[in-house]
Copies of this chain bind each other. A is one copy, B any other.
Amino acid sequence: MSTKPPSGTRDFLPRDIRRREHVIGVVRRVYERYGFEPLETPAFENIETLLGKYGEEGNKLIFKILRRGEHEASGEVDLALRYDLTVPLARVVAQYQSELPRLFKRYQIQPVWRADRPAKGRFREFFQCDIDALGSTSPVVEAEQMSAVGEVLTELGFADFRILVNDRRILTGVLNVAGVSDSDHEGALIALDKLDKIGEQGVTAEFVARGIDKTAAERLLAILRDVYGASQPAATDGSAVTAARFDALELLLGKTPSSEAVEQLSDIVRLLRESSVARHIYLDPRLARGLSYYTGAIMEIVVPDLASSLGGGGRYDHLVGMFLGRDVPACGFSLGLERIIFVMTERDMFPSTLASRAIDVVVTFMDDASRIDAIKFASELRARRLRVEVHPEASRKFDKVLKHASSRGAHMMAIFGENERALGQVAVRDLATRQQRAVALEQAADFIGRART
């Protein structure tokens, strides 16, 4: 029987967990500082909750759970594993409407599961760290969320991330101007989302494969190239460039719903002009985002050394309506924990203190008659908030116990033996200096507590 975890999943040993907890701790602290409150939903949902929310490709990647009992043999499914944190949130908002504040801001840090082909850095079980705000159409919502994720990344030590911004309606307008017919928009967006991976030629080929006019593809790519232009932050030094770009977009799109989007997006960017996240924001009219539920501004975080994004989000004003029957305006941002950890590991960004000791003190005994004393002493140390392991077996083979204690990071060892017991003492050894001394039993806990480094 294989003892590996299932394909695309991982076991997290203690060292891995320390790193994950470090990142999650920063994410949680910053999210709470922005007024988001925690929420958790079940690992699985009724299958009809998920189907039809992630597009055709998404439906195929959902892990489906077999019905149980007498229905098991039928091969029918009734449940499915959480695919993202946004759809369950929309269900929650519809269900608990009356209990939730009119402006509901929640964060959620939980795993999701997608049956993607596993690859380096791509997993079938991965954590998302989401913030969402429901109940407001104000651009302040988008601005605050970009500020929050920017602060998370800055606190984690990232300096070179970019938050790309765009609006789905701008893309729609650009698609129209380029001559892509309405019914082809979704296919065109999926193709365009792959631009960074497969290039302009690849996108054009995918347009053709999807039965979209080749001329439209070429016109579209030309427009994006022109408007995208040189890469400058949108909200600080490059604000003149950005303003010119927004103007170019408005000129291109004329008086359409898309020009309203240009107005709103430039408003969001302007709100952050004096914020510390300003220098990270870049206008990217090519940005499409894969998911079909976005209705307004969309955002994505990239770093130079990772082809895929560290996170992304956007406005989705109709998703809650699919559950509630009436729309609730909403906007959210999701950070990908695994990708953040991947880049931080590659760049050696974790603080060295994380690798530190799992335990502070090892208590060991040399004869079975000392066991009760050893256990009692351990509880005295623990009352002083020290992390203590009682070595469970009587041993005169110090080398092995010493090696074990050191490997677990302990800095002190307390040794109970027959001689010490007779004198009411315990031998205390400093594992760094290798100095050992006999200490009166009633003073030993204080002695070790003081020696804590």
- Please report A residues at the B interface, Cβ cutoff 8 Å: 1-6, 9-14, 16-18, 20-21, 32-35, 37-46, 48-49, 60-61, 63-66, 68-69, 72-75, 77, 79, 81, 88, 91-92, 94-96, 99-103, 105-106, 111, 113, 115, 125, 133, 136, 138, 140-141, 143-144, 147, 151, 270-276, 322-324, 358-359, 371-372, 375-376, 378-379, 382, 385-393, 404, 407-408
Contact = CB atoms under 8 A, between A and B. Distances in A.
Q: Which 7 A-B pairs have the closest CB atoms?
A: A75-B75, A35-B389, A9-B42, A138-B392, A14-B37, A140-B392, A3-B95
A43 B125 contact: yes
A298 to B, nearest CB: 18
Given A5-B42, A115-B68, A375-B144, A33 B385 contact: yes
Contact of A39 (B3, B12, B38, B44): B12
A343 B363 CA distance: 35
The copy count of this chain in the complex is 2
A99 B61 CA distance: 34
B140 A14 contact: no
A359 to B, nearest CB: 5
Contacts of A274: 372, 375-376
A358 B106 CA distance: 11
Given A39-B17, A371-B271, A3 B91 contact: yes
Given A95-B4, A143-B375, A392-B133, A382 B33 contact: yes
Per DSSP, chain A at the interface is mixed
Contact of A69 (B12, B60, B99): B60
Contacts of A275: 375-376, 379
A3 B64 contact: no
A99 B11 CA distance: 13
A92 B358 contact: no
Contacts of A115: 68-69
A344 to B, nearest CB: 18
A71 to B, nearest CB: 11
A162 to B, nearest CB: 20
Given A60-B69, A274-B376, A372-B273, A389 B147 contact: no
Nearest to A99: B13
Contacts of A379: 147, 275-276
A1 B392 contact: no
B390 A140 contact: yes
A73 to B, nearest CB: 8
Contacts of A95: 3-5, 11
Contacts of A392: 103, 133, 136, 138, 140-141, 144
Given A68-B63, A79-B6, A392-B133, A1 B49 contact: yes
B42 A389 contact: no
Nearest to A379: B275
A358 B137 CA distance: 22
A12 B88 CA distance: 12
A155 B229 CA distance: 61
A268 B11 CA distance: 33
Given A136-B392, A140-B390, A375 B147 contact: yes
Contact of A13 (B49, B96, B272): B96
B42 A387 contact: no
